[in-house]
């Protein structure tokens, strides 16, 4: 059954310009690449879990259609309270400023005073508070974006 799931996901993904890539044959780990969201999928596991990279929550018993849709859809907003560690955030902001001192969204120049730490996949959508999910943004872009992911709207016609 899992081989037929893989064939179906491959067919659906190719139709919308995505690539299904085998990452680890032993664990049965696949990734769906080429869309706004990178999807990890384990079709041979008991739960057949799929999840968007840098998020906490996955979809159990994911159908081929769900797996492909996840590559174009923002994770759902979660109700849990988000806590922040200002010392960790200051260090992350300083590290990112050295790497690229420009807003991720509008490319305006940033300083330590004007830069805000931005989660690419917002924490409220299950994004991780991890360096792989962080970038810098100007205050206007960060606050304008909130916990939405407007950058996916231009990709919505692929789903």
Instruction: Indicate the domain borders of the chain.
Output: 2-70, 86-147
CA distance 107 to 4: 44
The answer to whether residue 96 scores a pLDDT higher than 90 is yes
- Cα separations (Å) of 99 from 92, 94, 130? 11, 9, 16
- CATH class, range 86-147: mainly alpha
User: Which of the four pLDDT bands, split at 50, 70 and 90, describes residue 85?
Assistant: low
What was the pLDDT predicted at 78? 63
Is residue 116 a contact partner of residue 138, using CB atoms and an 8 Å limit? yes
Instruction: Indicate if the alpha-carbon torsion angle 114, 117, 119, 122 is positive or negative.
Output: negative
Which stretch of 8-17, 49-58, 76-85, 144-153 has the lowest confidence by average pLDDT? Answer: 76-85
Which residue spans within 66-133 are E strands per DSSP? 115-119
- CATH class, range 2-70: alpha beta
């Amino acid at each position: 059954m899992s081989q037929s799931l893989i064939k179906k996901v491959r067919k659906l993904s190719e139709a919308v310009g995505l690539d299904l890539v085998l990452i680890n044959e032993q664990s049965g780990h696949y990734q769906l690449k080429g869309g706004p969201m990178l999807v990890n999928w384990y079709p041979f596991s008991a739960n057949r879990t799929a999840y968007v990279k840098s998020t906490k929550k996955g979809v159990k018993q994911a159908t081929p259609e769900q797996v492909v849709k996840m590559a174009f859809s923002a994770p759902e907003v979660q109700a849990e309270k988000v806590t922040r560690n200002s010392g960790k955030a200051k260090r992350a902001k300083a590290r990112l400023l050295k790497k690229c001192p420009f807003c991720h969204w509008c490319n305006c120049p940033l300083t330590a005073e004007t830069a805000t730490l931005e989660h690419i996949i917002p924490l409220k959508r299950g994004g991780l508070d991890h360096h792989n999910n962080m970038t810098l943004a100007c205050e206007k872009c960060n606050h304008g974006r909130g916990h939405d992911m407007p950058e996916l709207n231009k990709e919505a016609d692929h789903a």
